[in-house]
């Protein structure tokens, strides 16, 4: 349910960003707010029900001084509707819309050992060619995959890891018996 609500809020703000030709600015400011809310004290003040909405609005005016008026009003709307606890989900949904609009996809590349920059550039280039989009490649190391590569893009998994192949073989052997 909260995911559906978050999508609606994100879509509404994204549409406003398009109308106001402020897609980059809104994204940048929402990302900044998302980082601010990682501070436990700020998050607690914003999400605590015992604090009057008026006080929260005043705090928002102080903290977001200099931000776009539309973004400030959006945050105030979220607070007035008692949806501040789902701000991160709203931001995540907005970010998906933003990246899609810009033709960018995020990909997590998992390898058993660190890869050199030439290899990373080659993988990125191949992914961009396959998906016809700009790829933000986030390499990570996970020794448990034993070898090979595993790529996560959205809800897609490209598993070329040794661990993945062994698990597939095991499933096939078990189902064949």
Last residue of a domain, one of 68, 100, 132: 100
55 and 9 in a single domain? The answer is yes
Tens digits of per-residue pLDDT, 31-76?
A: 999 999 999 988 888 888 888 888 999 999 999 999 999 999 999 9
SS (H, E, C) 4-28: HHHHHHHHHHHHHHHHCCCHHHHHH
- pTM (2 d.p.): 0.79
Per the CB < 8 A criterion, the answer to whether 6 and 92 are in contact is yes
Q: What is the CATH number of the domain that holds 131?
A: 3.40.30
What is the average pLDDT value for the chain, to the nearest integer?
A: 94
- The SS3 assignment for 163 reads helix
Instruction: Extract the tokens encoding 102.
Output: 């810009």
9 and 85 in a single domain? The answer is yes
45 and 108 in a single domain? The answer is no
C-alpha closest to that of 36 among 88, 79, 74: 88
Which residue range is the domain that position 123 belongs to? 104-176
Q: What pLDDT does 26 receive?
A: 98
Tens place of pLDDT for every residue, the chain, 177 residues? 889 999 999 999 999 999 999 999 999 999 999 999 999 988 888 888 888 888 999 999 999 999 999 999 999 999 999 999 999 999 999 999 999 999 999 999 999 999 999 999 999 999 999 999 999 999 999 999 999 999 999 889 999 999 988 898 888 888 887
135 and 149 in a single domain? The answer is yes
67 and 32 in a single domain? The answer is yes
Mind giving me the DSSP string for 40-103?
HHHHHHHH-TTS-HHHHHHHHHHHTTTS-HHHHHHHHHHHHTT-GGGHHHHHHHHHHHHHHHHT
Last residue of a domain, one of 67, 82, 100: 100
113 and 169 in a single domain? The answer is yes
CA atoms within 13 A on the CB side of 159: 12
84 and 113 in a single domain? The answer is no
Q: Total structural domains in the chain? A: 2
Across 164-174, b (16+ Cβ under 10 Å) vs e yields beeeeeeeeee
Q: What pLDDT does 153 receive?
A: 94
45 and 96 in a single domain? The answer is yes
110 and 130 in a single domain? The answer is yes
Last residue of a domain, one of 55, 80, 100: 100
C-alpha closest to that of 26 among 60, 80, 64: 64
Q: What pLDDT does 141 receive?
A: 96
Phi, psi (deg, nearest 5) at residue 34: -60, -40
C-alpha closest to that of 26 among 72, 60, 89: 72
Q: What pLDDT does 80 receive?
A: 93
């Amino acid at each position: 349910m909260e995911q559906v609500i978050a999508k609606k809020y994100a879509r509404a703000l994204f549409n406003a960003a398009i109308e106001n030709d402020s897609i980059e600015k809104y994204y940048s400011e929402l990302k900044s707010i998302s980082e601010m809310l990682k501070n436990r004290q700020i998050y607690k003040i914003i999400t605590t029900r015992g604090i009057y909405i008026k006080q929260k609005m005043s705090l928002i005016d102080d903290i977001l001084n200099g931000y776009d008026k539309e973004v400030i009003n959006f945050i105030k709307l979220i607070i007035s509707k008692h949806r501040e606890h789902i701000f991160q989900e709203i931001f995540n949904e907005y970010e998906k819309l933003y990246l899609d609009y810009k033709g960018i996809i995020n990909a997590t590349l998992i390898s058993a050992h660190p890869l050199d920059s030439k290899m990373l550039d080659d993988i990125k280039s191949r992914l961009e060619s396959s998906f016809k989009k700009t790829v933000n490649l986030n390499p990570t190391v996970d020794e448990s995959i034993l070898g090979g590569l595993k790529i996560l893009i959205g809800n897609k998994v490209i598993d070329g890891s040794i661990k993945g192949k062994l698990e597939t073989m095991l499933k096939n052997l078990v189902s064949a018996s």
